Amino acid sequence: MQDQTTIMDKAQLELTLKRLAHQLIENHHPFNDTCFIGIQPRGVPVSDFMIDYIRGLYPGLPIDYGKLDITFYRDDIRERLHVPSETNLPFSIENRKVVLIDDVLYTGRTIRAALDALLDNGRPSKVELCVVVDRLFSRQLPIHPDYCGRSIDSIVTQKVKLIWGDHPHVILYDAA
């Protein structure tokens, strides 16, 4: 990954995730009819951080949070190797507001797969999308985030990656 640009450093990423969490609080508190679902695999660290942050602000308040594996709903399942993860939805999504959480929105195909997987688990009253980075002008499907940390312009040969660890950050690099 040479010739990379840091889009968000650790402090900016943490601030962005907290801002997104506050937007979710503003629109969904006290969370009675809302559940949050991280999309496996890359949306889970994002959703874990945000839900832990919200739970820290509202200790004892029940917040339904699950994880959704979309592996077998992907339209590129035969083209690339995808390692299945676990779906863990210990609550019903029937007639509830669902907030899907992922790291990067690019073509929209991952979200389409997530919607298919979600509907196999029930029929929500509403589905919203929360992403850290929206890669504008790359959409192949009419999908747009309701909550977005940062929107960026990028070209097809570039990749955006959220890196976790001791120093989490978001980078843009040329994958060609």
Rounded Cα distance between 134 and 149, Å, is 8
**Under 8 Å CB-to-CB from 100, ≥6 apart: which residues?**
37, 39, 43, 68, 111, 114, 115, 118, 127, 128, 129, 130
H or E element at residue 90? none
The per-residue pLDDT for 3 is 82
Going across the sheet that includes 158-163, the strands are: 4-8, 169-174, 158-163
pLDDT in tens, 85-132: 889 999 999 999 999 999 999 999 999 999 999 999 999 999 999 999
Give the start-to-end residue ranges of the domains of the chain.
4-171
Q: What is the CATH number of domain 4-171?
A: 3.40.50.2020
Do the beta carbons of residue 162 and residue 47 sit within 8 Å?
no
Spans of the chain below 70 pLDDT: 1-2, 77-83
The per-residue pLDDT for 74 is 83
The per-residue pLDDT for 27 is 98
The per-residue pLDDT for 18 is 98
